[in-house]
Amino acid sequence: MIEKPYGTAAAVQHASPRDWPPDSRLNPGPERAFRAICALALVLPLLLLATLLGRALQEGWPRLSMEFITAYPSRVPANAGILPALVGSAFLMGLTAVMAIPLGVGAAIYLEEYAGSSRLTGLIEVSISNLAGVPSIIYGLLGLELFVRAMAFGRSLLAGAATLALLLLPMVILAAREALRTVPHSMREACFALGADRWQTVRRVVLPMSLPGILTGIILALARAIGETAPLITIGALTYVPFLPDSVHSPFTALPIQIFNWISRPQAGFRVNAAAGIIVLLAIMLLMNGAAIWLRVRFERKLSS
């Protein structure tokens, strides 16, 4: 019986691992070590996150009450609340969404549906991808110079919302473009074959089919923005606001700013207030992420039915 030499296509195709020469067998040691490193890289951040969440819940849960949510800030920890910060965050997210969503979705539609392949388009795409990874404090410095000083918005809700809109714009564009790419080109070609122009195709076919992904990306971007502190501190958001904002030009504070202010105080009562504020902020972010998942599933079922 003639043995087939190792290395031939037939031998490699039909031979089992037991027939391989000793030198070619896989060594389980490095593979096990790699799996252990990957498991450790997963478990350690989860343990750290669980520890931080557990400590925040332990310290802040007894402080949570309707009085804490509806009260104004105070120099006495037991009387302090988060109402101006909560309302300021809500107004801030509303203005940010009004600014960032139309510009971001419109830019994504233009780049995907109208702009051709050119050096300028490539430069714009690279710039958007790079801007999505820029640290948020850089946007704060840009907002301080552009909106607060050059455009004379001052330390107002409008300046804060415009700064956060700049921060969210690259993320909204990238999320919307990825959602638009999920629509098959055959759907566009079918619309063109029926006599529809490009705008009719985008408005009646492409946008409805990509809406779940666009909404998910927008909500997740807003969930990130609601926890941003560095840009708001840079543009000069107030840390102590005993009143509610009544216009877009009013001074404001936000929930992350209020938490930062409390955690920097030496009194133990303010640290308890900060832990309770962290719980409220985490609850809002979880609700926004849950809403993103729910909307995506609902629209996908609606489109598939």
> What is the CATH classification number for the domain harbouring 254?
1.10.3720.10
Whether 30 is in a domain gets the answer: no
- Structure letter (DSSP) for residue 4: P
Query: How many angstroms separate the CA atoms of 292 and 218, rounded?
Result: 8
Question: Is residue 125 assigned to a domain?
Answer: yes
Q: Is residue 227 part of a domain?
A: yes
Tens digit of pLDDT at every position of the chain (305 positions): 444 454 454 454 555 555 555 544 556 778 888 899 999 999 999 999 899 889 989 999 999 999 999 999 988 988 999 999 999 999 999 999 999 999 999 999 999 988 878 888 889 989 998 988 889 999 999 999 999 999 989 889 999 999 999 999 999 999 999 999 989 989 999 998 988 889 999 999 999 889 888 988 898 888 888 888 889 988 888 778 888 888 899 888 999 999 999 998 888 899 999 999 999 999 998 888 888 888 888 877 877 76
SS (H, E, C) 89-153: HHHHHHHHHHHHHHHHHHHHHHHHHHCCCCHHHHHHHHHHHHHCCCCHHHHHHHHHHHHHHHCCC
d(CA 167, CA 100): 9
d(CA 101, CA 58): 38
Is position 88 within any domain? yes
What is the longest distance spanned by two Cα atoms in the chain?
A: 94
The span from the CA of 6 to the CA of 24, in Å, is 10
Please tell me the total count of domains within the chain: 1
In a domain, 181, yes or no: yes
Residue 22 in any domain: the answer is no
Domain range enclosing 212: 81-304
Residue 10 falls within a domain, yes or no?
A: no
